[in-house]
Chain A
Amino acid sequence: MTSTTRFRRSHGTLSGPLSGRFSGRFSGVAARRSQPSGQGADTLVSDLQAALSPDRVRTDTAQRRLLSRDASVFEGGNAGPVCFPATTAEVQAVMRITAMHGRAVVARGAGTGLAGGAIPLQGSKSGAPVVLSLTHMNRIISVDTDNRVAWVEPGVVNLDLTKHLRAYGFHFAPDPSSQQVCTIGGNVANNSGGPHCLAYGVTNAHIVAIDAVLPDGSLAHLGGLEAEPAGLDLRGVFVGSEGTMGVATRIAVRITPNPEAVRTLLLSFARVTDAANTVSAVIAAGIVPAAMEVMDQRMTQAVENYVHAGYPTDAAAVLLAEVDGLAAGVDIDAAAIARIGQEQGATAVRLAADDTERALLWKGRKTAFGAIAQIAPDYYLHDTVVPRAKLAEVLEKTYEIADRYGVIILNVLHAGDGNLHPLIVFDAREPGMLDRVHAAGAEIINASLAAGGVLSGEHGIGVEKQGYMDRMFTNDDLDHQNRLRRSFDPTCRSNPGKILPGTHSCADIQSLPKPAPGVWG
Chain B
Amino acid sequence: MCRHTIAAETGTWGLGMSAAPAPLSTPVRPPDPVLTEFAEVVGETGLVAVQGRRTRWDLGGTLDPSARIINAPSGVVSYQPEEMTVRVRAGTPVAELDAALHADGQRCALPDRDGTVGGAVAVGENHLELLGRGALRSSVLEVRYISAEGRVIVGGGPTVKNVTGFDLPRLLTGSLGTLGLIGEVILRTNPLPACSRWVCASAVDPFLTHDTLTRCGAVLWDGANTWVLLEGHAAEVDELLRRISRLGRFDEVDGAPSLPPNRWSLEPAVLRTLTTADGPHVTGRFVASVGTGVVLAERPQPQRAQDPAVQLVSARIKSEFDPTGRLNPGRNPVDR
Contact = CB atoms under 8 A, between A and B. Distances in A.
Interface residues of A, number: 137
A429 interface: no
A227 B125 CA distance: 10
B232 to A, nearest CB: 5
Contact of A326 (B1, B13, B236): B236
Interface stretch (A95-103, A340-348, A359-367, A467-475): A467-475
B116 interface: no
A450 B308 CA distance: 44
A412 interface: no
Contacts of A55: none
B125 A228 contact: yes
Nearest to A123: B13
A348 to B, nearest CB: 25
Interface string A246-258: 0000000000010
B318 A520 contact: yes
Interface string B5-40: 011101111111101110010011100000000000
Contacts of A326: 214-215, 232, 236, 239-240
Interface stretch (B50-58, B66-74, B152-160, B250-258): B152-160
Given A17-B3, A219-B309, A326-B236, A191 B163 contact: yes
B75 interface: no
Given A124-B10, A227-B126, A326-B240, A469 B82 contact: no
B12 A124 contact: yes
Query: Dominant SS at the A interface?
Result: loop
Contact of A457 (B152, B163, B268): B163
Nearest to A521: B315
Interface string A178-209: 00000000000011010001000110110000
Interface string B157-198: 111111111111011011100011000000000111010000
A485 B166 contact: yes
Interface string A466-496: 1111111110111011011111101000001
B245 interface: no
Interface in A203-240: 204-205, 214, 218-222, 224-234, 236-237, 239-240
A460 B167 CA distance: 12
B137 interface: yes
Interface string A404-446: 0000000000100111000000001000001100110110011
A107 interface: no
B247 interface: no
A218 B169 CA distance: 26
Contacts of B15: 74-77, 116, 119, 121, 463
A338 interface: no
A283 B84 contact: yes
Nearest to A506: B13
A1 interface: no
Nearest to A221: B307
Interface stretch (A302-310, A350-358, A497-505): A497-505
A280 B85 CA distance: 13
A436 B319 CA distance: 46
B294 A228 contact: yes
Given A227-B265, A484-B171, A124 B14 contact: no
Interface string B317-336: 11111111100000011111
Given A232-B314, A506-B13, A418 B161 contact: yes
Given A75-B15, A234-B313, A515-B318, 14 more contacts: A75-B2, A77-B15, A202-B163, A218-B312, A227-B268, A231-B333, A240-B166, A333-B233, A438-B17, A455-B164, A461-B164, A465-B164, A516-B325, A519-B324
26 contacts: A15-B2, A77-B15, A124-B8, A220-B307, A232-B179, A236-B173, A237-B171, A286-B191, A288-B190, A325-B232, A326-B215, A328-B236, A329-B233, A332-B233, A454-B159, A471-B21, A476-B151, A477-B154, A477-B155, A477-B168, A480-B180, A484-B166, A498-B14, A502-B12, A516-B324, A520-B332
Interface of B: 1-4, 6-8, 10-17, 19-21, 24, 27-29, 80-84, 105-106, 124-126, 134-135, 137-138, 147, 151-155, 157-168, 170-171, 173-175, 179-180, 190-192, 194, 214-215, 232-233, 235-236, 238-240, 263, 265-269, 272, 289, 291-294, 304, 306-325, 332-336
